[in-house]
Amino acid sequence: MLNDKNILITGGTGSFGKKCTEIILKRYKPRRLIIFSRDELKQFEMAQVFSDRDYPSIRYFIGDVRDRDRLFRAFNGIDYVIHAAAMKQVPASEYNPFEAVKTNILGAQNIIETAIEQGVKKVIALSTDKAANPVNLYGSTKLCSDKLFVAGNSYVGHDKTMFSVVRYGNVVGSRGSVIPFFLKKKEEGVLPITDPRMTRFWITLEQGSNFVLKCFKRMVGGEIFVPKIPSMSIMDLAKAICPECKTETIGIRPGEKLHEVMVPVDDARNTVEFDDCYVIKPMFNYFGRRFCGDGCKPVPDGFEYNSESNPWKASAEDIRVMAEGL
């Protein structure tokens, strides 16, 4: 469905954007693939890998999701948008809260309104496990963003634009991820551990990108897609990555949880389970007419998808395979 289509990725020079670009250019033949981001240096570096000479469909647009006028120009003729741009560092968001709101919330509003005005067919916004029962500002802004994208389907009216959200856990190897941090600390022989009880969901960039592209085909607008992925304790992760290193407990950081949640218990009544994912359905009348529930079943009452009780536990070998090449 992506062949001969115009696709735009906001935050396209980030870890996800680069991997998704690689997959799209390898598997499909888009008419245009626009990388939209605000960092000219990152665009220059990415263009050394994906040049317009080797990939005639690719374009690099400087712009910020805070700037609605620039989005309006960039979205002209676009069929599909992947919204990956975000201010995502927890400490930076706590210290610069208004900036996080402008990018993650007002930026989401700009994306929604511009997509409708320009007749974009489908938009998928990337979310995070930290948006479920948030305890920090970053998670709170992403929860608000999720709500905006789901509600955007009602805001559309009689137009055809659809909005959905993909929510997943920690990405192996993304900027700021703990695995590259541990590998760097490996040289010192001691790994700082915030709390030995901590658990997290894990997904690779390739798995995340593939899941997002798959959701473009299955979405009808309003869903929050949550992939089934493994989780692992921070201690098991440390042993898998750096078995020869000692560990030092330094205490949990402000805004962190012991365990992450991707489907809160309060959302269970609106959640269905497929073989590969959970789908949190919106409480809108139109959705039931669009949604095909073939192959899914409701989750039980009191269900919660969290990294501690998740039955799929990653093994040390799983993590080592995920971390290959870092």
Q: What is the token pair recorded at 142? A: 């992403």
**CA dihedral for 143, 147, 152, 153, sign (positive or negative):** positive
Q: What is the token pair recorded at 124? A: 């998928």
Q: What are phi and psi of 227, to 5 degrees?
A: -70, 150
Extended strands (E) in 24-169: 32-37, 58-62, 80-83, 122-128, 162-168
Q: Which helix (H) or strand (E) holds 9?
A: strand 6-10
Extended strands (E) in 140-296: 162-168, 170-172, 190-193, 199-204, 224-227, 231-233, 246-249, 261-263, 271-273, 277-280
Are the C-beta atoms of 78 and 7 separated by less than 8 Å? yes
Query: Which of 20, 157, 145 lies closest to 82 in space, CA to CA?
Result: 20
**Catalytic residue list:** 130
